[in-house]
Amino acid sequence: MENRPMPRLFVVRHGETEWSQQGCVTGRTDIPLTEHGVEQIRQCAPLLVGEGKVIDPKNLCTVFVSPRRRHDNLSFHHASSHKTFHLLFEGHELPHHVLTESCREWDYGDYEGLNPKEIQAIRPGWLIWRDGCPGGESIEQMQARVDSVIEQVREHHRQYFEGTVNTRDVMVVAHGHFNRCLIARWLKFDLFLGTRLNVQTGGVAVLSYNHNNLEEPALNASVIHLNSMLSFGPCLTTCVQIEPAR
C-alpha cells in the first residue's frame, strides 16, 4: 500500500437553488438548480474533472447521489443533486453511481421551506445541531444515516487497501447539512462540529486518511484557488485537518 495513492472521498454539494439562495431549509422539497447553479457546476467541472485532474473518472469506484425528487413534477434528471452529478461529468462517460435515500438532506419536518428568522420566531434559540427537527429527523437519526454511508465508503476503501480493487476514490453528491454531518462524522466527531464547517453550493470537500491508515480519517488541507478564475466564487471548499484532542 505504501506505493499506492491514498483513496479519497469527494463530498460535493449541489449547485445553487432558489431556496438555497434565499436561505430556506430544503429537506423534502427538491428545488431545481437556478441558471446560476447550473453555470456554477459547468464552470467548475472542466477544472476539477478529467484525466489527470483532481477528480479523475477512471479512479472513481462509485458515486453515491441523493435521489431527492421531492416535487411531483420534477424528474430525477432535474433534481438538484442528480443534475449536479450529470453536469460534473458532462462530456465524460458517467462513472458507476447509485441513487440512494441514505444521502438525502436532513428532514426538517415542521420547518421545511422556512428561513432561519422564521424558524426562530416559532422556536427561539432553536439549533438543528442540538435540537433536531420536530416532525422530521432527530440528531440520532441523522447521525445513524450518515454513519451508514461512511461505512459503505470505507468498505470500498478497505478493498482498495487490500488490493482487491484498483479504483480508489468515492464521491457523494448531496446537500448542505448532510455534507457537514458527513465531514464531522468522517473525522469521528459529533454532528455539532458541523457548526464550524461551511459547505457552499457547488463546493467540494476532499476527505482521506493520514499515514496510510483507515483508522486515521482526515480532511485534506490541499488548496486549489479557483475563485481567481471564476466569477462564481470558489467551487472547492478546503479546510485544515482536524484531530481529536488527546
Catalytic residues: 14, 105
In whole angstroms, what is the distance from residue 152 CA to residue 135 CA?
A: 28
Within 49-195, residue ranges assigned H as helices are 80-88, 116-122, 128-131, 139-162, 176-186
To the question of whether residue 23 is assigned a binding role by annotation, the answer is: no
Residue with cell 457552499: 200
All residues at 6 or more sequence positions from 75 whose CB lies less than 8 Å from its CB, including other chains: 69
In whole angstroms, what is the distance from residue 31 CA to residue 184 CA?
A: 26
Encode burial over 95-109: b for 16+ CB neighbours within 10 A, e otherwise.
Answer: bebebbebbbbbbbb
C-alpha cell at 49: 474533472
Residue of 24, 137, 133, 37 lying closest to 79 (CA atoms):
37
In whole angstroms, what is the distance from residue 48 CA to residue 84 CA?
A: 13
C-alpha cell at 128: 438543528
Asked if 37 contacts 16 with a C-beta cutoff of 8 angstroms, the reply is: yes
Question: CB count, 10 Å around CB of 181?
Answer: 30
C-alpha cell at 187: 473525522
Looking at the DSSP bridge assignments, the partners of residue 179 are: none
To the question of whether residue 202 is assigned a binding role by annotation, the answer is: no
Residue ranges at the known binding site: 26-27
Residue ranges at the known binding site for substrate: 26-27
